[in-house]
């Protein structure tokens, strides 16, 4: 009779152990790291994960794989001049900046009529606030801006491919100066991976008009209209996808530059990790087939970065370094350009265009410094 409580206790413990074992692998939700590149912090949110005991842990380590992905954030200071915009910004004929193809000169472009239409670059000073309001119905500055600053209108004409509006994105003007008896200004832009396909070298003329606020300490006022040289500065290189007609008949695309990247599509049925990961993936590998990776244009399929959430803003990778067996990336993201194209394609995987991975250790870490350009 005294053994009965002991036997019942053992049976109860055994039942608890069996119940605990059966519950492993049947969790319906898990915490996902929301890699918020635009916000400068990491938050957590809950996502649904399909429970299936027949599916192994997704994306098991293959060849070399990233152990952890770490993010750091900072704001990048620039010397770009502020552009004046319209507060409403809804009327295309009354905005701070507009573009017209050659042959559209007769259409309103929101520029002073004194600026010639001969295919050259010109600027003029906007002398009064009343004059400014003839080009903007509701400018986002008041008359006090002219106390310590000049306002210039610059009309630039340049020739790039017909895909300029999508692939080359304007960042800002800087370094206005008068040297060797001529005026100069610099314009920075970057090559976006938005389209990722072949770069078509069909020349078209593009006209841009911008109203810039420049401190009086940098320039002296001058009356009239003046020609100006625009020095172009491309922050990153192109991805190398030039058409073979401009390569002497070479049927193979140029290799992508090391300071750019491309994005990949994947099999939507694959169960993906909840945290950022990285892998070294060779083409035709088992892991490539498991994820169902497909390139958007040209891809090397070597170091692949996976982010569970898409960045909100457009970005480029400006530095890549392998140090002590780990991978270090510097990313610039541009808050004036959203990543709408990523949302459309549901991008999670990025080809980093790193061809030599021999110095990466098997379980390498990835350190990403995100610099936001505002």
Tally of residues, the chain = 374
Pick the residue with more confidence: 174 or 249?
Answer: 174
Pick the residue with more confidence: 95 or 205?
Answer: 205
User: What's the pLDDT score for residue 159?
Assistant: 67
* Band (59; pLDDT cuts 50, 70, 90): low
The two tokens of residue 319 are: 């530095």
Residue with the two structure tokens 């991978």: 327
Cα separation, 79 vs 96, whole angstroms = 19
Cα separation, 316 vs 171, whole angstroms = 13
The two tokens of residue 191 are: 């090559």
Asked if the model's pLDDT at residue 2 lies above 50, the reply is no
User: What's the pLDDT score for residue 151?
Assistant: 97
To the nearest 10°, report the CA torsion of 372, 316, 313, 91.
100
User: What's the pLDDT score for residue 153?
Assistant: 96
Cα separation, 9 vs 178, whole angstroms = 92
Pick the residue with more confidence: 233 or 202?
Answer: 233
From the list 344, 276, 284, 323, the residue with the least C-alpha distance to 304 is 276
Overall average pLDDT of the 206-218 stretch: 92
Which tens digit of pLDDT belongs to each residue from 99-157? Answer: 544 444 334 457 888 999 888 999 999 999 999 999 998 899 999 999 999 999 999 98
Cα separation, 371 vs 366, whole angstroms = 16
| CA distances to 58, 277, 339 from 66, in Å | 14, 6, 25
Cα separation, 238 vs 298, whole angstroms = 12
Cα separation, 350 vs 293, whole angstroms = 10
Overall average pLDDT of the 81-106 stretch: 55
Overall average pLDDT of the 323-349 stretch: 87
Asked if the model's pLDDT at residue 244 lies above 70, the reply is no
Overall average pLDDT of the 279-298 stretch: 79
Q: Which residues contact residue 62 at a Cβ distance below 8 angstroms, ignoring those fewer than 6 apart? A: 279, 281, 285, 286, 287
The region of weakest confidence among 192-201, 221-230, 258-267, 359-368 is 192-201
Cα separation, 209 vs 153, whole angstroms = 7
* Mean pLDDT comparison of 12-21, 268-277, 357-366, highest-scoring range: 357-366
Asked if the model's pLDDT at residue 178 lies above 60, the reply is yes
User: What's the pLDDT score for residue 202?
Assistant: 55
8 Å CB contact between 257 and 316? no
8 Å CB contact between 363 and 67? yes
Overall average pLDDT of the 314-325 stretch: 93
User: What's the pLDDT score for residue 230?
Assistant: 95
């Amino acid at each position: 009779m005294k053994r009965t409580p002991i036997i019942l206790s053992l049976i109860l413990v055994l039942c608890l152990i069996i119940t605990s074992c059966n519950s492993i692998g049947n969790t319906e939700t898990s915490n996902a790291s929301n890699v918020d590149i635009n916000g400068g912090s990491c938050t957590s949110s809950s996502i649904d994960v399909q429970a299936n005991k027949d599916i192994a842990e997704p994306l098991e380590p293959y060849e070399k794989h990233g152990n952890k992905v770490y993010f750091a954030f900072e704001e990048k200071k620039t010397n770009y001049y502020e552009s004046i915009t319209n507060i409403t910004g809804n009327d295309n004929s009354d905005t701070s900046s507009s573009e017209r193809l050659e042959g559209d000169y007769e259409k309103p472009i929101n520029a002073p009529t004194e600026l010639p239409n001969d295919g050259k670059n010109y600027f003029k000073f906007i002398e009064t606030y009343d004059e400014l309001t003839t080009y903007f119905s509701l400018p986002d500055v008041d008359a006090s801006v002219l106390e310590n600053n000049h306002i210039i209108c610059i009309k630039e004409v340049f020739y790039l491919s017909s895909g300029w509006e999508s692939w080359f994105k304007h960042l800002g003007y800087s370094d206005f100066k008068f040297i060797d008896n001529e005026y100069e200004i610099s314009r920075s832009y970057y090559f976006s991976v938005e389209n990722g396909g072949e770069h078509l070298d069909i020349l078209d003329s593009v006209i841009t008009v911008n109203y810039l606020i420049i401190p009086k300490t940098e320039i002296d006022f001058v009356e009239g209209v003046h020609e100006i040289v625009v020095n172009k500065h491309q922050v990153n290189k192109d991805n190398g996808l030039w058409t073979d007609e401009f390569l002497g008949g070479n049927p193979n695309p140029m290799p992508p530059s090391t300071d750019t990247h491309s994005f990949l599509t994947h099999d939507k049925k694959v169960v993906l990790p909840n945290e950022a990961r990285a892998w070294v993936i060779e083409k035709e590998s088992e892991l490539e087939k498991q994820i169902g990776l497909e390139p958007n244009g040209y891809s090397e399929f070597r170091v692949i970065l996976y982010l569970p959430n898409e960045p909100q803003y457009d970005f480029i990778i400006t530095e890549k370094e392998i140090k002590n067996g780990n991978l270090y990336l510097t990313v610039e993201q541009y808050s004036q350009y959203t990543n709408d194209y990523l949302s459309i394609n549901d991008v999670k995987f990025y080809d980093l265009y790193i061809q030599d991975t021999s110095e990466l250790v098997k379980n390498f870490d990835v350190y990403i410094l995100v610099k936001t350009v505002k």
